[in-house]
Amino acid sequence: MKTSGNTILITGGGTGIGLSMARDFMKEGNEVLVCGRRESRLFEAQQRLPNLKVKVCDITDEEERESLADWAIASGVNILVNNAGMQRMVNFTRGLPELAEGDNEIRSNLEAPVYLSARLVPHLMRRKPAAIVNVSSGLGFIPLAIMPVYCATKAALHSFSVSLRHQLSATGVMVFEVIPPMVDTDLDRGARTRRGQEDRGISPDEVSKALLQGMAEDRVEIPVGAAANLVAGSRTNFDQVFQGMNSRR
């Protein structure tokens, strides 16, 4: 698909992978709208990219999500990038209190992209070209058991992407799924440092470059770097790759 001349809404586009995408899409001559909960991060992003359009929005809040959709439609959006997400380690041996004490990954990583897609598809069907891009994860293909809910939301987002692509195949709305490996961002809120993990992952710029190239080549599933091994492993050798990833934890 054409990667210039579009109007693109990137959820969570004020930081990390979303911000790299915003910058690269803008360089290619697209108009870019981003949202996030922290006004300070959106303001910083706008300092770096002065033409960036920003809106404070918690995508897990139904009313705020509705107002985000209205804003995007009024701006002429033709590409929705479901990028916003969060990641938590959750130990189920500690029961419900540990699960309930933090942000709800199911609502931000799965429910919000599903509802935003439903809200925008009828509008996108009237735009040409049009697309939805879902940012899943290699961990949606082979889970890392210390973050079980995160991995489950990403597996579900993969499944949703496959079904949505099939449903929309006759409409002209393309459905892309970009599948990053570990990326050096603030996603884990310092958890990698706390567990002494030295590998910080690839740069968010690499994910953004892979996405733009994949879209230009109409490759609907875009695994990036080492995520390709997890995608392939999940299809040919699930148990062995799962044991390899989880045996030392």
CB of 105 to ligand NAP, least distance (A): 9
Block residue for tokens 């697309």: 131
Q: Are strands 53-56 and 79-82 parallel, antiparallel or unpaired?
A: unpaired
CB of 46 to ligand NAP, least distance (A): 13
Positions that interact with ligand NAP (CB under 6 A): 11-12, 14-18, 35-38, 41, 57-60, 83-87, 108, 135, 137, 180, 182-183, 185-187, 201, 204
Half-sphere exposure of 155 (CA within 13 A, CB side): 13
Nearer residue to ligand NAP within complex by CB, 28 or 58? 58
Question: Coil, strand or helix: which one is 9?
Answer: strand
Nearer residue to ligand NAP within complex by CB, 17 or 174? 17
Per annotation, catalytic residue among 60, 131, 133, 150: 150
CA end-to-end distance (rounded Å), the chain:
42
Integer Cα distance of 97 and 70 in angstroms: 36
* H or E stretch covering 36: strand 31-36
Block residue for tokens 């949202």: 35
Nearer residue to ligand NAP within complex by CB, 152 or 172? 152
* H or E stretch covering 212: helix 204-216
CB of 169 to ligand NAP, least distance (A): 25
Tell me the CA distances in angstroms from 145 to 86, 138, 175, 194, 221, one per residue in order.
16, 13, 28, 17, 24
Is 115 tagged catalytic? no
Tell me the CA distances in angstroms from 151 to 109, 118, 122, 154, one per residue in order.
10, 23, 29, 5
- C-beta neighbour count of 232 within 10 angstroms: 13
CB of 18 to ligand NAP, least distance (A): 6
Nearer residue to ligand NAP within complex by CB, 116 or 121? 116
CB of 52 to ligand NAP, least distance (A): 13
Integer Cα distance of 75 and 105 in angstroms: 29
Q: Which residues are catalytic?
A: 150
